A = this chain, B = another copy of it.
């Protein structure tokens, strides 16, 4: 049986370009060239191509494969062992890369979260200021700028552990809030626990605390839909419930 490039290529599942390339580098030459210059392959070439494909699947370079298939007495086992060494070295290199990339991703996501948080906090501070305006000049004068400055400062100097503890507190708030809502009572011990956790969380965030700001923030959770959405993912009405609990907690409900 004789084959042209395309027939042989289809048999082996490779392109005609590949066959021409293999001819070019002398790894698989056609049995003969016909009068029109066409490459004609025979059974021997099919066999050799199968060998080539086999070694190629093992990831050997064409140069190595050439040595193997062209010199009959070639030490194939040695070539394979050397190839294996290379593969193992490459895998070690990859393992190291993967570890480092994973570490970097972790750090980067930390940073991204930090950065998002920073934005979030900045936004929050701005809202607090706006809010305090509603509550009156005297409060803003007393806490406003000071809190903002301290908060920014605090946030920038926050350690990884502080950050983790802060996030942990944030989830605890959500969890406790979910439980507390089953009681339906913002004055219930569980609801007050949620308010207390929320206070701790604020303290971590801002590095300082004041009832007024706390109550102001709580009101904002209801007034600003962006916050409402955040807390209402626990359950509908969660933002309102938390505000009520905090107002009771801070004694600002009277």
Contact = CB atoms under 8 A, between A and B. Distances in A.
Interface of A: 57-59, 76-77, 80-81, 83-84, 87-88, 90-91, 94-95, 97-98, 100-102, 104-105, 108-109, 112
B91 A59 contact: no
A104 B80 contact: yes
B90 A59 contact: no
Contacts of A83: 101
A108 B79 CA distance: 11
Given A77-B108, A91-B98, 11 more contacts: A58-B104, A59-B101, A77-B105, A77-B112, A84-B102, A84-B105, A87-B97, A87-B98, A87-B101, A88-B98, A91-B94
B88 A58 contact: no
14 contacts: A57-B100, A58-B101, A77-B109, A77-B112, A80-B105, A84-B98, A84-B105, A87-B94, A87-B97, A87-B98, A87-B101, A88-B98, A91-B95, A94-B94
Contacts of A97: 58-59, 87
Nearest to A94: B91
A116 to B, nearest CB: 11
A45 to B, nearest CB: 22
Nearest to A87: B98
A191 to B, nearest CB: 37
